[in-house]
A and B are shown apart, each in its own frame.
Chain A
Amino acid sequence: MAWLGEIMRQRPLDDVLRPYARVIADKDTWQSAAGRLAMGEARLLSLWAEPDAVHMALETDAALAVMSLACPGGSFPSVGRMYRPALRLERTIRDLYGLRPEGCPDDRGWLDHGRWGVRHPLGAGADAPAVGGDTYAFLTAEGPPLHQIPVGPVHAGIIEPGHFRFSANGETVVRLEERLGYVHKGIDGLMIGANLERAAKLAARVSGDSTVAYSIAFARAVEAALGLEAPRRSVWLAALMAELERLANHLGDIGAIANDASFSLLHAHCGILREQVLRTSAVCFGHRLMMDRVVPGGVAVDLSSEGAGAARALVRTIERQFPELVELYDNTTSLQDRTVATGILSPALARQYGAGGFVGRASGGSRDVRKAPGYAPYTGLAFDVPTRDQGDVDARVWVRIEEVRQSVRLVGQLLDGLPGGPVRADLSRPEFRKPTAEGLALIEGFRGDVLVWVRLDPDVNVLRCHLRDPSWFQWPLLEAAIEGNIVADFPLCNKSFNCSYSGHDL
């Protein structure tokens, strides 16, 4: 695994990026990195572009680095050709920037549905007219008994839009292909030239259920670029918000999964606990989802003693009521009958895609960026990273159940150890004016690690920003997990993955 370190010694480094190293790659280095990814010797953290260059962030057990390749000819060697998890990211680069991945096995558009009225909106030649139309060649599954079931983009429930194309043999799913991009709002483009306040608001609205995680990731990336550390109290308060967000989402998900198996009793009780978390969040930080509360340089609101009291009361409520719900889940055989051995994701596939969050950790993974690389204040707090090996819906429920317990532990510790002092640093101070500054941050949201990379101009406005949702490496795995299951179990599998549409579509 020392190959990345070797490359970092051999190739020139760009010292603009903080806190990680950036290698200036040539095509050979780029291709060899793709080969290493394919051999499982590294994990792809993200792959993104600007009009004349591509970047990939990758991680081995020993190092984390960004590799950058200039694309003077408007193309770059495909990573997805050798390493499938990069495929959709690469198709997105082609859609948005017009850079061609050489040898990419998939020519179809991804986020571009031919409806923007513009092609390559962020590329060098942005204003070429659109080709128009909505044809998309879904992958085929052939044979006399097979039929196709198109679902979406508008779904039956109160969920985000996306299209699922099932090929089924009777009740059994032979192939599922996802088509996403329906909620593409052009966030990368809106970020260009945005001042910090506006950019932070955009980051907070990439995926509403992870607004705190995105706000922290954006803030940490900006702070890294500026060489600034947010005040200690603000870092602890941000972590408190992050754990409240995790609690709310996991409680909601556990109930919703049960509901998709028509077991509404658990759904009702989990809904009550979730609502209590949201109300407590509103008492503590003035907003139920805590949107725009974490900002570059700290947090926008301090925690009052009333808020701290409410949070403590919430911890006691969950500690009292949650065990009963866990028992209910564990002892209801009709529910277990639906969740156990349904939608199995193999550990090998989860590892190949580097899946984070409950998807990865229910299939043998143990990755949690709060532990490694680790960041404040988690490095000084006691918590475990629960894992399962079975990879089925049941395992994904159990990982969530145990993460609820861990988050409750963390909220208690955060309240007990909350340091005093200021909660926001002044970013307008002249020492933060730098020629160009870049920062990268990885933050553990409820569904996995969120990556944010940002480049700032001397006036601390955003030049470029890339936000990568954990769903990028989880959506493709859902296609694999559903294979061989019955169509009626799809909602159950989908909810147990709970990938973000908006976070993915940007």
Chain B
Amino acid sequence: MRKLLFKSLLRSPLTEPASDDQAKLDEVASKLQRAARRRLGRSLSIREVDAGSCNACELEIHALNNAYYDLERFGLRFVASPRHADVLLVTGPVTKNMRQALERTYQATPDPKWVVAVGDCAANCGVFAASYACAGPVSAIIPVDLEVQGCPPPPIKILEGLLTLLAATNAAQAKVGA
């Protein structure tokens, strides 16, 4: 283990090596940091809720935690309880069997709170539209502040979505303040 730790200490960080994504990610990173700090101090807590997804969106949301995207460097982190959350990241067409659980999770999240619907299913039920078992897109059940489309959206898109949300909530707050 020591060998591996030393090696990791000595080599340059993996967090996005030079690639096409790099410039965009840097841009996202710096904006996100500024926005998150202005709005909520140094941190923003996210609670993920799978309301009927096929699990593909969850895999890509998971990837935000890996060394390439390293979500926590922006002060963004996933939390285990909606009571600790500022943002609900909701995936899937909301199934009728999950509707109540989603509503309760929303109610358990303290104000101010935002909801991001991640993936095509969350936005419009995707291929599962018109099923007897689906209650509708996330916006039909709880208020949605932002949709991130894709099937599934790649991690960088989800990150950009979070930035957009932060920028929007900041603008709204600035207006109220003025």
Q: Is the CB of A186 within 8 A of B131?
A: yes
Interface status of B133 (Cβ within 8 A of chain A): yes
User: Closest approach, in angstroms, between the C-beta of B152 and any C-beta of chain A?
Assistant: 7
97-122 of chain A: CB within 8 A of chain B? 111, 113, 115-118, 121
How many Å lie between the Cα of A330 and that of B127 in the bound state?
A: 44
Interface status of A207 (Cβ within 8 A of chain B): yes
Q: Is the CB of A265 within 8 A of B52?
A: no
Main secondary structure of the interface of A (DSSP, over half): loop
247-302 of chain A: CB within 8 A of chain B? 252, 265, 268-269, 271-272, 274-275, 278, 282, 288-289, 291
Count, A-B residue pairs, CB within 8 A: 145
Q: Is the CB of A278 within 8 A of B96?
A: no
Chain B residue, CB-CB nearest to A156: B80
Residues of chain B within 8 A (CB-CB) of A186 are 128, 131-134
User: Closest approach, in angstroms, between the C-beta of A257 and any C-beta of chain B?
Assistant: 14
Q: Is the CB of A328 within 8 A of B56?
A: no
Given contact pairs A190-B128, A265-B4, A209 touches B56 in the complex (Cβ within 8 A)? yes
- How many residues belonging to A are interface residues under a CB distance threshold of 8 Å? 54
90-113 of chain B: CB within 8 A of chain A? 92-93, 95-101, 105
How many Å lie between the Cα of A332 and that of B1 in the bound state?
A: 8
Q: Is the CB of B56 within 8 A of A291?
A: yes
Q: Is the CB of B131 within 8 A of A189?
A: yes
Chain B, residues 13-39, CB within 8 Å of chain A (1/0): the string is 010000000000000000000000000
Residues of chain A within 8 A (CB-CB) of B130 are 190
Interface status of B140 (Cβ within 8 A of chain A): no
- How many residues belonging to B are interface residues under a CB distance threshold of 8 Å? 50
Q: Is the CB of B105 within 8 A of A154?
A: yes
Interface status of A92 (Cβ within 8 A of chain B): no
How many Å lie between the Cα of A118 and that of B63 in the bound state?
A: 38
Residues of chain B within 8 A (CB-CB) of A435 are none
Provide a sorted-by-A list of 30 A–B residue pairs whose CB atoms are within 8 angstroms: A115-B99, A116-B132, A118-B132, A134-B100, A157-B80, A158-B78, A159-B50, A160-B50, A161-B98, A183-B52, A183-B98, A184-B97, A186-B128, A186-B134, A189-B133, A190-B127, A190-B128, A206-B54, A208-B57, A208-B152, A268-B67, A271-B65, A272-B14, A275-B63, A275-B68, A278-B63, A289-B56, A289-B152, A291-B56, A324-B3
| Interfacial residues, chain A to chain B (CB-CB below 8 A) | 111, 113, 115-118, 121, 134, 153-154, 156-161, 181-187, 189-190, 198, 201-202, 205-209, 211, 252, 265, 268-269, 271-272, 274-275, 278, 282, 288-289, 291, 324, 328, 331-332, 500-502
